Structure 1
Amino acid sequence: MTNLNTSNPLLSVSTLKNRAVPFHEIKNEHYLPAVKEAIQQAQRQLEKVVDHSESANFENTIEALENLSEPLDYVATIFYKLLSAHSNEEMQKLAGEIGPLLSQFSNDVTLNPELFKRVQSVYDQKAQLTLSTEQATLLENTYKDFQRNGALLDADKKQTLREIDKRLSELTPKFAENLLKATNSFEMLLTDPSDVTGLPESALESAEHAAKEKGHEKGWLFTLDIPSYLAFMKYADHRELREKLYKAYASRSFGGEFDNQKVLKEIAKLRFQRAQLLGYPTHAHFILEKRMAETPEKVHKFLDRIAEVSLPAAQKDITELQEFVNSQQGPSTLQRWDFSYYSEKLKEQKYHFNEEEIRPYFKLENVIAGAFEHARRLYGIRFEKSSDYPTYHGEVTTYDVYSEETNEFIGVFFADFFPRSSKRGGAWMTNIYRQGLFMGEVMRPHVVIVCNFTKSTPTKPSLLTYDEVRTLFHEFGHALHGLLSKCHYRSLSGTSVYWDFVELPSQVMENWTLEHETLSLFAKHYQTNEVIPKELTQKLKNSSLFQAGYTSLRQVSLGKLDFAWHALDPSGVDDVPAYESQVMTPFNAVPEVPGTNLSCNFSHIFAGGYSAGYYSYKWAEVLDADTFELFKEKGLYNKEVATSFKKNILEKGGSEHPMELYKRFRGREPDPDALLRRDQFI
Structure 2
Amino acid sequence: MFPEFHSDNLLQKESTILKKMESNKEFIQSLLKKSPISFQNFLKPYQRIQTELGDLVTEVSHINSVKNNDESQTIYSRLLPKLSEYFTDLGQNEEIYAALLNIQKNDQSLNEEQSKVLENEIRDFQLSGVGLNPSTKEELKNIRIQLSDLTNQFSQNVLNATNAFALFLNEEDVKGIPESDKVSAKQEDGTYKFTLHFPSYIAYMTYGENRKIRKELYDAYCTRAPENGALIEKILNLRDKEAKLLGFETYAHLSLATKVANTPEEVITFLDHLAEKAKPIAEKEYAEIKTFAKKMGETQIEPWDLTYYAEKLKKESFSYDEEIYRPFLEKETVIQGTFQFLEQLLGVRFQEVKTNVWEPSVLCYDLVVEGETRSRLYLDLEVRSEKKGGAWMHNWKPHFQDESGKTELPIAFVVASFPKATATQPSLLRPSDVVTLFHELGHALHHLLSKVNEAFVSGVNGVEWDAVEFPSQFLENFVYEPKVLQLFAKHYQTKEPIPNSYIETMVKAKNFMSAMGVVRQIEFAKFDMLVHKEKPTEAKVQEILNQVRKEIAVLVPPSYNKFQNSFTHIFAGGYAAGYYSYKWAELLSANAFYSFVDKGVFDLEHASHFRKTVLEKGGSANAMNLFRDFYGKDPDIQALLRLNGIAA
TM superposition score category, shorter chain reference: 0.7 to 0.9
Question: Matched residues in 2 for 1:314 and 1:681: separation?
Answer: 12
Q: What runs of 5+ residues in structure 1 fail to find an aligned partner?
A: 1-15
Q: Which amino acid aligns with 1:342?
A: Y
2:51/2:455 contact within 8 Å kept:
no
- Partner residue, 1:429: 393
User: CA 1:565/1:97 → structure 2, altered by over 3 Å: closer, same or farther?
Assistant: farther
- Correspondence list, 1:663-678, <5 A: 663-678=628-643
User: CA 1:18/1:187 → structure 2, altered by over 3 Å: closer, same or farther?
Assistant: farther
2:225/2:566 contact within 8 Å kept:
no
- Partner of residue 326 from structure 1, selected from 285, 294, 313: 294
Q: Does 1:530 align with 2:496?
A: yes
- Partner of residue 342 from structure 1, selected from 309, 312, 315: 309
Q: Which amino acid aligns with 1:109?
A: L
- Partner residue, 2:516: 550
Question: Matched residues in 2 for 1:591 and 1:457: separation?
Answer: 49
User: CA 1:681/1:110 → structure 2, altered by over 3 Å: closer, same or farther?
Assistant: same
Q: Which amino acid aligns with 1:296?
A: P
2:393/2:414 contact within 8 Å kept:
yes
User: CA 1:405/1:422 → structure 2, altered by over 3 Å: closer, same or farther?
Assistant: closer
- Partner residue, 1:160: 139
Percent of aligned pairs with the same residue?
Answer: 33
Moved more, 490-499 or 81-90: 81-90
Deviations along 1:125-145, one digit per CA (max 9) or x if unpaired, are 24xx22332122222222333
Question: Matched residues in 2 for 1:92 and 1:170: separation?
Answer: 24
2:586/2:640 contact within 8 Å kept:
yes
- Partner residue, 1:645: 610
Q: CA deviation at 1:115?
A: 2.7
2:374/2:449 contact within 8 Å kept:
no
- Correspondence list, 1:172-321, <5 A: 195=174, 197=176, 199=178, 204=180, 234-235=206-207, 254-255=224-225, 268-321=236-289
Q: CA deviation at 1:320?
A: 1.0
Q: CA deviation at 1:552?
A: 1.4
Q: What runs of 5+ residues in structure 2 fail to find an aligned partner?
A: none
User: CA 1:412/1:469 → structure 2, altered by over 3 Å: closer, same or farther?
Assistant: closer
- Partner residue, 2:128: 149
Moved more, 404-413 or 338-347: 404-413
Q: Does 1:495 align with 2:460?
A: yes
Query: Cα RMSD over matched residues?
Result: 4.7
Q: Does 1:135 align with 2:117?
A: no
1:561/1:580 contact within 8 Å kept:
yes
- Partner residue, 1:540: 506
Question: Matched residues in 2 for 1:168 and 1:83: separation?
Answer: 29
1:355/1:466 contact within 8 Å kept:
yes
Question: Matched residues in 1 for 2:61 and 2:395: separation?
Answer: 11
- Correspondence list, 1:7-18, <5 A: 18=3
Deviations along 1:158-214, one digit per CA (max 9) or x if unpaired, are 233334445666777787788889989999999959846463xxx63x975x799x9
2:449/2:459 contact within 8 Å kept:
yes
- Partner residue, 1:43: 25
- Partner of residue 513 from structure 1, selected from 479, 504, 510: 479
Q: Which amino acid aligns with 1:623?
A: L
Question: Matched residues in 1 for 2:510 and 2:572: separation?
Answer: 31
**SS in structure 1 of the partner of residue 113 of structure 2:** helix
**SS in structure 1 of the partner of residue 3 of structure 2:** helix
Question: Matched residues in 1 for 2:88 and 2:594: separation?
Answer: 45
User: CA 1:154/1:585 → structure 2, altered by over 3 Å: closer, same or farther?
Assistant: same
**SS in structure 1 of the partner of residue 465 of structure 2:** coil
Q: CA deviation at 1:151?
A: 2.8
1:419/1:451 contact within 8 Å kept:
no
Q: Does 1:124 align with 2:109?
A: no
Deviations along 1:628-665, one digit per CA (max 9) or x if unpaired, are 22212222121111121112111110112323322322
- Partner residue, 2:366: 401
Deviations along 1:525-576, one digit per CA (max 9) or x if unpaired, are 4564432111222233344432232121112122123324533325x34898
**SS in structure 2 of the partner of residue 124 of structure 1:** helix
Q: Which has the higher contact order (CA 8 A, sep 6+)?
A: 2
User: CA 1:509/1:39 → structure 2, altered by over 3 Å: closer, same or farther?
Assistant: same
- Partner of residue 42 from structure 2, selected from 58, 61, 70: 61
Deviations along 1:331-379, one digit per CA (max 9) or x if unpaired, are 243334x433422331233346555554553455554444333223223
- Correspondence list, 1:438-457, <5 A: 442-449=407-414
Question: Matched residues in 1 for 2:213 and 2:162: separation?
Answer: 17
Question: TM-score, normalization: structure 2?
Answer: 0.81
